[in-house]
Amino acid sequence: MNFEILFFANLPGYKLWIIHIMEGVLKDGDFCTVTAGTHKGKSGVVRDLNVSKTGHLTITVVQENGVRFKTLGKNVRVEKPD
Domains annotated on the chain, with CATH: 3-79 (2.30.30.30)
> What is the model's pTM?
0.67
The radius of gyration computed from the CA coordinates of the chain, to the nearest angstrom, equals 14
Q: What is the pLDDT of residues 5-50, one digit of tens each?
A: 555 555 555 555 444 444 456 788 889 999 999 999 999 999 888 8
Distances (CA, A) of 14 to 17, 19, 27, 48: 10, 16, 24, 20
Quote the pLDDT of residue 20.
47
